[in-house]
Structure 1
């Protein structure tokens, strides 16, 4: 029997907004728990570390989810990550996407989606509410992908067909909400699924830490709090936040599971 049940909230669908994360944080107390805010276009889309997120109108999904019952801020990114992955696997089964720690969706060495989780409410020094935004490259054509500042892909580029954004956005809202209920009933089960979807464990990667220093080594494991356990020159290190670059030559994409 489920310990937590809440009704599925109606999504907030906007035409143009500066950032769905900003809108969700501004209206956090007025909107129901689990609400998805989505926009056709963002004028100031943001990624991690303040990076701009390419947000052309009517081509991609730009959405943010409000979570009012989170034990920890990073959990919002975890549940949106696995929820989005499940949604995309259903809508585009031929696209072999996976999670790249800490909060991206990739196909091979190319970025398909990025997430940004931010605190929305802090009480007595503890996060009690958060928003988790996601941008998914859906119908972005290959020529426009070239303008992205890193290797990127889209569902269109992968499957050579366009997707109905309205239907896909609705599926995303339903799937993420389902994972939110899973999290409220068993956070451990949700986090276990999130860890298993991080396929780069055991692979050679490059890391740039928060100080800008570069590291080369092996992604060994994910700790209980979501940190990366990283082996560099035989020494184990722990990273809570950094930029990860895939070493393409170290990954056998045909056998990556």
Structure 2
């Protein structure tokens, strides 16, 4: 049995061949890849299961419903104004999750190293939720950042990463986005991007943050498994999106924002957060464990805690999720 690396290499090659936009026969694919026709058929089925829309027409072969431009580490690094960019950016094809792969190799990686993938088979969001990750449809990225001052210097990290995301999207002229505490980016009241921070290290010592970012770019129309209102950049912008350019600008913005955050914390970014806050001055409900706390959202404090006003008193909360009435927003 072929190992996973070889299988993923074959499937990526198939996608690369089909991405040119014309039909390719099963026989031609089999000859090119030195495989049987039945093996090609099985690989095609697996790619469809990963979210690719592939036409299968008897007598003509296979064709992608729309062309895909694959992620390219050289192109991404060439768009970033940083001499060492090419050594920090790594592209994977089909993996479990970018966070998992980055964590396993973190000790060997430089600060700021990034892994991007074309597809994830076990992508996840906060609280163990599944992050649906179709092939070539989004940005699935994780970055390693070492905080020498330890865990205590990371308060509000997911919030500042959200700011980096909306700066990127606005800078490319795609959309005006909003932030939902503590780790989501929204557009038109639908989820566009999620952020997952995982921490490796000991309290009081140097701490590695694994910063996972998933941005919906052009999701398949028949996608399944997403249990909330969502959108993607191509829908919001009304045009196709260059994923390589998007990845380059996102990486660059995160690289720029993190040193400031590490030195000064969240405070310099609070006005920007408040301006983009999806729920500012709205009546919301915070769900934290078994508790449901109602109040009016008053933004966040310098530690990244949510501020809720209730009966004239403002209190801060560090954990949980917020929502409003379903008639206002599906969350």
Same fold (TM over 0.5): yes
State the distance in 2 between where 1:58 and 1:67 align: 25
Contact 1:73 1:118 (C-alpha < 8 Å) held by counterparts: no
State the distance in 2 between where 1:150 and 1:250 align: 14
State the distance in 1 between where 2:143 and 2:209 align: 8
1:103 and 2:204 matched: no
Q: 1:89 to 1:34 in 2, by over 3 A?
A: same
- Provide the residue aligned with 1:198 in structure 2: 277
- Provide the residue aligned with 2:165 in structure 1: 84
1:65 and 2:146 matched: no
Tell me: higher relative CO, structure 1 or 2? Use CA pairs within 8 A at least 6 residues apart.
1
Contact 2:156 2:305 (C-alpha < 8 Å) held by counterparts: no
Deviation at 1:249, TM superposition (A): 6.0
Contact 1:19 1:45 (C-alpha < 8 Å) held by counterparts: yes
- Count residues with an aligned counterpart: 243
What does residue range 171-182 of structure 1 map to in structure 2 within 5 Å?
171-182=249-260
1:119 and 2:181 matched: no
TM-score, with normalisation over the residues of structure 1?
0.83
Deviation at 1:131, TM superposition (A): 1.1
Question: Which secondary structure does the structure 2 equivalent of 1:113 belong to?
Answer: strand
Deviation at 1:219, TM superposition (A): 0.7
Q: Deviations over 1:219-246 (max 9, x none)?
A: 1231221111213455544321111124
- Provide the residue aligned with 2:122 in structure 1: 44
Deviation at 1:185, TM superposition (A): 4.4
Contact 1:62 1:136 (C-alpha < 8 Å) held by counterparts: yes
Report the RMSD for the aligned CA atoms in angstroms: 2.6
Question: Structure 2 regions of 5+ residues with no counterpart?
Answer: 1-81
Q: Which protein is bigger by CA-based radius of gyration?
A: 2
Q: 1:175 to 1:118 in 2, by over 3 A?
A: same
- Provide the residue aligned with 1:165 in structure 2: 243
User: Which has a greater percent of strand?
Assistant: 1
Q: Deviations over 1:43-102 (max 9, x none)?
A: 101100011101111000111111102653444323321111111112234x22011111
User: Which has a greater percent of helix?
Assistant: 2
State the distance in 1 between where 2:302 and 2:110 align: 29
What does residue range 3-42 of structure 1 map to in structure 2 within 5 Å?
8=85, 10-42=88-120
TM-score, with normalisation over the residues of structure 2?
0.66
Q: 1:67 to 1:196 in 2, by over 3 A?
A: farther
